[in-house]
Amino acid sequence: MKTMFIKPSSSPAPPPERTAHIRFSELCAGYPGRPVLHQVTAEIPHLATTVLVGPNGSGKSTLLGVLAGVIKPTSGVLLRTGDRPPAFVPQRGAVGDTLPLTVRQTVEMGRWGDRGPWRRLTRRDHATVDAALDRLGIGALASRQLGELSGGQRQRALIAQGLAQESDLLLLDEPTTGLDPEARERIGELLTALVADGVTVVQATHDLQVAHAADACLLLQNGRLTGQGRPEQVLTTSALTQVWQTL
């Protein structure tokens, strides 16, 4: 497996083609004794929102894990821009909602990658945490326990933790699952707005409304890529019927 880093281009991308933030080809990955992704070749556009869509078990989380660098591909090539590690926001259910943590402590954990869990946060770290809380509109909740919050507020705290990592690549695993429509819409708008802050956003989602609002889409089925491009081109009725009927 070869991972290479390419320098971000200093000049803006010439429209209508977007430059790639990540490019991978013939990527294979999975778990011991369980291959999941098979020969996946695709691009994640720079400074855009990309959705990973597919039925349960199609490999969305595994692909996010590969992009996050926590799952090592067994073969293939992956190229990405940027020199900061990606920020990964796991599924809300994977994070103990009853952990005795305040919202601020949760977001501060986003600084651990730079600072380590035991070193005191610097003034700059605190400013970064404050900015992330403000960006997600949860500054007023900073001293509240995570377990006291609504699902949407907790999700915003987790996204703020991701932002506090100051990465140019934010990866999210089903950030809107289980939220009410208003909270879903708010998270969707926030993620879109982050692109203007210089963040490339990739999210796995089951939510076709969220998927249609993205700039780009990768459609997965049984660990293989069956479509990529603009959501309206990829998520056609016939493609969705074909992917979901052959489960």
Residue 171 tokens, joined: 């990866």
Region of 13-21, 39-47, 51-59, 230-238 interacting with ligand ADP (CB under 6 A): 51-59
Distance, in Å, from the CA atom of 183 to the CA atom of 15, rounded to the nearest integer, reads 33
Using CB under 6 A, which of 7, 11, 15, 34 touches ligand ADP?
34
Does residue 106 interact with ligand ADP by CB under 6 A? Answer: no
| Interface of this chain with ligand ADP, residues 183 to 242, rule: CB under 6 A | 204
Using CB under 6 A, which of 19, 50, 61, 81 touches ligand ADP?
61
Does residue 31 interact with ligand ADP by CB under 6 A? Answer: yes
Does residue 59 interact with ligand ADP by CB under 6 A? Answer: yes
Q: How far is the CB of 97 from ligand ADP (least distance, A)?
A: 20
Region of 58-66, 102-110, 152-160, 207-215 interacting with ligand ADP (CB under 6 A): 58-66
Closest CA to 63 of 38, 92, 34, 95: 38
Residue 114 tokens, joined: 């730079």
- On whether the CB atoms of residues 173 and 91 are closer than 8 A, the answer is yes
Q: Closer CB to ligand ADP, residue 101 or residue 179?
A: 179
Does residue 175 interact with ligand ADP by CB under 6 A? Answer: no
**φ and ψ at residue 169, rounded to 5 degrees:** -135, 115
Does residue 62 interact with ligand ADP by CB under 6 A? Answer: yes
- For residue 34, what is the enclosing H or E element? strand 34-45
Region of 56-64, 111-119, 163-171, 180-188 interacting with ligand ADP (CB under 6 A): 56-64
CA 106 from centroid of its chain's CA atoms: 18
231 Cβ neighbours under 8 A, 6+ residues apart: 51, 211, 212, 213, 214, 216, 217
Does residue 152 interact with ligand ADP by CB under 6 A? Answer: no
* Total residues in contact with ligand ADP, by rule CB under 6 A: 12
Q: Closer CB to ligand ADP, residue 59 or residue 231?
A: 59
Does residue 90 interact with ligand ADP by CB under 6 A? Answer: no
Using CB under 6 A, which of 56, 98, 143, 238 touches ligand ADP?
56
Does residue 58 interact with ligand ADP by CB under 6 A? Answer: yes
Q: Closer CB to ligand ADP, residue 46 or residue 60?
A: 60
- On whether the CB atoms of residues 51 and 203 are closer than 8 A, the answer is yes
Closest CA to 52 of 64, 40, 66, 65: 64
List, in sequence order, every residue forming a beta bridge with 30; answer none if it has no partner: 35
How far lies 107's CA from each of 37, 64, 101, 164, 176, in Å? Answer: 32, 21, 10, 7, 19
Residues interacting with ligand ADP, by CB under 6 A?
31, 34, 36, 54, 56-62, 204
